[in-house]
Amino acid sequence: MTDQASHNGGPIRRVVVLVDASRASRSALEEAADLAARRHAQLLGLFVEEEALLRSAGLPFAREIGLTSAALRPIDRDRVERRLRAQASELDRVLTGLARRYAISGSLRVARGHVVDQALAHALPGDLLIVGRAGWSPVQRGRIGSTARSLIREGPQAVMVHGGTAGGHATIALVDSPEAGPEVLAMATQLTLRDEQALTVFLPPKEEGNPEQLRHLTEDWLEARGLQASFRTLRSASPEAVARAVQAAGGRALVISRRSPSVAHYGGEHLIPAVAPPVVVVP
């Protein structure tokens, strides 16, 4: 296992949060500001005005169904635009406040178009892109939305998918291949709150890989940087088993590679919704 001199193995340069006006996205913004401050990175809020939504709002029969009330309300393009502008302005205010509070460089960018396209257009290698599991909507958290899925698959940057509940203390790195190891470990160490705080490394079961070898490689990698970690060999690489292991280890974030069999083989669609804390997928 060798350290790749790519952006992906390097420090987080920018934290990009795909925001809307929901409370969940604001709280993610706050966490992102904290992370950016700790990693001396920039913070960018990306607010995408969905072109398709604006178009559909222009239809004569367009109606909005309230998420909580289930009430049916007429909408029109002007109204949606006004609302989006108000939300963008509010988010700008929030971001400015956070930037001042955390003494970071923070800004909001408003873009119009398709969410995935815009996110990909704005994301760069070395970014950490934070998204909601299925947008920031409180429903549909049980599955991963198409936006998050596309960004995980296609983007040049790492993606942190929020959606469940946080609360643990350990950053968990799932190291299941020698190739993916350095990027995963590099991201995991950056997410670790404090240097002395626990970094837990999950190793694949024997049937799925070579945990002994991976452990040695990981230990070497950590030793070279003066770091330590605790190890745990998974009994199964199934999404449920990984989720249970994360909970048992008190995980506050799980870092995994896009190339990991857990994502590639079992599919991120199962693993990500199963894990309660945020999942960071590195490319």
- Asked whether 217 and 242 are in contact (CB, 8 A), the reply is no
Task: State yes or no: residue 82 binds other proteins (CB under 8 A).
Answer: no
84 binds other proteins (CB under 8 A): yes
* Beta pairing, strands 127-136 & 158-162: parallel
The kind and range of the H/E element at 47 are strand 42-50
CB of 20 to other proteins, least distance (A): 7
If the CB atoms of residues 114 and 153 are measured against other proteins, the closer one turns out to be 114
Answer for the pair 200, 252: CB distance below 8 angstroms, yes or no. no
65 binds other proteins (CB under 8 A): yes
Q: Name the H helices within 172-260.
A: 181-191, 211-224, 239-248
Are the CB atoms for 245 and 159 separated by under 8 Å? no
Q: How far is CA 188 from the centre of its chain?
A: 12
Tell the smallest beta-carbon distance from residue 166 to other proteins (Å): 11
Selection from 248, 179, 246 nearest residue 217 by Cα? 179
- Out of 137, 233, 236, 238, point to the residue binding other proteins (CB under 8 A): 137
Please, which residue, 17 or 217, has the CB nearer to other proteins? 17
50 lies in the binding site for other proteins (CB under 8 A): yes
Contact 62, 74 (CB under 8 A): yes
Q: For other proteins, which residue of 16, 19, 80, 108 counts as binding (CB under 8 A)?
A: 80
Q: Is 166 in the site for other proteins (CB under 8 A)?
A: no
Closer to other proteins by Cβ: residue 60 or 226: 60
CB of 155 to other proteins, least distance (A): 21
Structure tokens at 276: 């309660």
Nearer to other proteins, 21 or 227 (CB): 21
Footprint (CB under 8 A) of other proteins, residues 227-266: 244, 247
Q: What is the four-CA torsion angle of 87, 89, 93, 96, rounded to 10 degrees? A: 110
Binding window for other proteins (CB under 8 A); candidates: 81-89, 90-98, 102-110, 179-187: 81-89
Beta carbons of 8 and 159 less than 8 angstroms apart = no
220 near 247, Cβ under 8 Å? no
- Closest distance between other proteins and the C-beta of residue 39, in Å? 26
Q: How far apart (Å, rounded) are the C-alpha atoms in residues 28 and 1? A: 33
Question: 5, 60, 196, 207: which one contacts other proteins (CB under 8 A)?
Answer: 60
- Does 150 contact other proteins by CB under 8 A? no
Judged by the rule CB under 8 A, the positions of this chain that interact with other proteins are 20-21, 50-53, 55-68, 70, 72-73, 75, 80, 83-84, 87, 135, 137, 139-143, 167, 244, 247, 273
